[in-house]
Structure 1
Amino acid sequence: MLRVIARDDAAMLAVGLAAMGAALSAVDAAIVRQLDGGLHPMMIAFTRALFGALAVLPMVVMRPSVLKSVYPLRQHMARAALKLVTLVAFFAAFARGPLTDVTAIAFTSPIFVVIGASVMLGERLGGMKILAVAIGFCGAFFVAGPTGAGLTLAMGFALVGAVLQAVIQLMLKSMSSGDRTATLVIWNLLLTVPLAFVLALPFLTMPTAGQMGLLALQGVLGAGCMALMTHAFSLADASIVAPVDFLRLPLVAVLGYVLFGELAKPSVWIGGVLICLAALIASRASRRARPAE
């Protein structure tokens, strides 16, 4: 009985942490939109990585062993490069398109994980996974189709970001078997800074005091979101934690309306619900497919 109560308490804490992470992600998207036109997306990616790295630096100083990895540096570098391109794609999408539409398209990432796992890892596509892929793409059509935002440049950036995010998750699926989550997160942050700096050189500008404050806040929020979600997944099953992330959609919709006067179309909400449903089906099907421990 005590073990059941402890497990329930851990699950409740995990849900709370994931909800906080979703809220931070929604604020992150609003900050990018607020910076729209003032700074290049590559510049935003660099400052985000810089302030995020500074946020985790005390942990590295206090526990240098956290950097110990079983994987070569080039593998961490490849993941950091992909993560950087993913961030820039999403930043460009949030700067150019409606926040709710972009967020809905971003949720297609689990669908691409299912497809990628089948193509790259040889995982079998069962009936539930095929259903999830079909529903997910129907949802994407509602969001980016003729009745939604349309096939705009912003939707294209969001779709690229979702695909690359899926590739990163497939890499993490493999690397997490050898390294601790903290090691993977910290190496990603530390290696992204020099990569982003080199690529941001042509676009470097001196931010205003207000922009610098928003950039610093975004970096801290990004590191905080990773920490919250990482801890949440360590406390409860992914099937409990992952659905909480879908809170981002209504939160982003509220921020988009209050701060920028954006009102999401009904087709976007229909598409968003379908995409979230597809992601849940894919997650449940993947969990059932795992061998019992």
Structure 2
Amino acid sequence: MSTAALLRSPAGILFILVGVLGISVNDVLIKLLSGGYPLHQVVLTRSLIGLVFILFMVRIEGGWSILKTRQPILHAMRGLLVVFSNMTYFVALAVLPLADATALFFVAPLFITALSIPILGEKVGPLRIAAVTAGFAGVVIMQRPWADSGTLQADRLVMLLPVLSAFAYALMQIMTRKLGASTKASALAVYIQIIFILVSLGFFAVAGDGRFAEGSSDPSVQFLLRAWIWPDPGDLWLLLGLGAVTAVAGYCLSQAYRLTDAATVAPFEYVGLPLSVLWGWLFWSELPSSEVWIGIALIMGSGLFVFLREKQKARRVARAGVKRRF
């Protein structure tokens, strides 16, 4: 490994840890606000505030010229994937315990491995395939297909939303690695926030008066489609904090994957799992059920195994390359 790569690895790990902490705090704030505001209002406010912070980073990283791109369609597709991933996850978060939603979302690394076969043409060995299978088994256990729907905390469709969110996130990360080679982290974050703003304004134009939520008592539907209201003074601070945290998290995650290979930094994303359990216990007195603990163990264990195998494989390839050179 080159000296530059050795220096980038600690920086990438630091960025990923700060980013994961930011995402975890973001989830807490979203859940706290989900009972009184529509999702598109929260997202719009968050993105507008976050954009101010990110534009400041743009100035530091090179000025407005770094926002120019020759791949606008790919950036738009990446932004839409992030929006879809966030929306589906947050709708579920309004109903599910924080630890449950977070654990289900953490199948994203397994999706990345599975998708690398058809999209990137990578070869995945039997051990990694077995690990991916074990991780998805954890998802099934958390879904409790044997249980009566009346005993579940939420509708089964809502429980699948974090998994759908993880799938979109996995597609986005595959695109990030390609775009990050020629785009600054702050520019990547700006494009995403602009997409969030445009989509939120679209929701406001179509459903901002709350007519589509009338007659529904489902918390997820209410969170997605209720009418806009002027925030309470106390909630304005939550929204301001949400915007700042989003800006920092988005920048740090993009920077982590730009500076360091995914196999090195991605395992550190699992810090988000114990954080979600901690926040759920502190704010809502929630602790995971036995099925959720089993699911967390399977998803986390299989994800870490996949990353370690990918790192081992990269080292073997590097050593083989050195032998061929000499």
TM-score by length of 1: 0.86
Q: Check whether the contact 1:136–1:278 (CA below 8 A) recurs between aligned residues.
A: yes
Q: Check whether the contact 1:52–1:222 (CA below 8 A) recurs between aligned residues.
A: yes
C-alpha change, 1:85 and 1:238, in structure 2 (3 Å) is closer
2:143 counterpart of 1:144: yes
Q: Give the corresponding residue for 2:68.
A: 68
CA offset digits 1:58-80 (Å, max 9, x no partner): 23456112212231x23322221
Q: Give the corresponding residue for 2:27.
A: 29
Unpaired stretches in structure 2, ≥5 consecutive residues: 209-227, 322-326
Identity of aligned residues (%): 26
Q: Give the corresponding residue for 2:160.
A: 156
Q: Give the corresponding residue for 2:57.
A: 59
Q: Check whether the contact 1:136–1:275 (CA below 8 A) recurs between aligned residues.
A: yes
SS at match of 2:94: helix
Q: Which 10-residue stretch deviates more, 17-26 or 34-43?
A: 17-26
C-alpha change, 1:196 and 1:182, in structure 2 (3 Å) is same
Q: Give the corresponding residue for 1:260.
A: 284
Larger Rg: 2
SS at match of 2:92: helix
SS at match of 1:96: coil
Partners of 2:256 and 2:203 lie apart in 1 by 33
Q: Give the corresponding residue for 1:212.
A: 236
The two structures, once aligned, show a CA RMSD in angstroms of 2.7
C-alpha change, 1:119 and 1:234, in structure 2 (3 Å) is closer
Following TM superposition, by how much is the alpha carbon of 1:261 offset from its aligned partner in structure 2, in angstroms?
1.5
Q: Would you say how many aligned residue pairs link Structure 1 and Structure 2?
A: 288
Unpaired stretches in structure 1, ≥5 consecutive residues: none
Q: Which 10-residue stretch deviates more, 220-229 or 117-126?
A: 117-126
1:197 pairs with 196, 201, 217, which one? 201
TM-score by length of 2: 0.78
Q: Check whether the contact 1:48–1:216 (CA below 8 A) recurs between aligned residues.
A: yes
C-alpha change, 1:128 and 1:200, in structure 2 (3 Å) is farther
Q: Report the AA paired with residue 102 of structure 1.
A: A
C-alpha change, 1:187 and 1:46, in structure 2 (3 Å) is same
C-alpha change, 1:22 and 1:206, in structure 2 (3 Å) is same
Q: Give the corresponding residue for 1:97.
A: 96
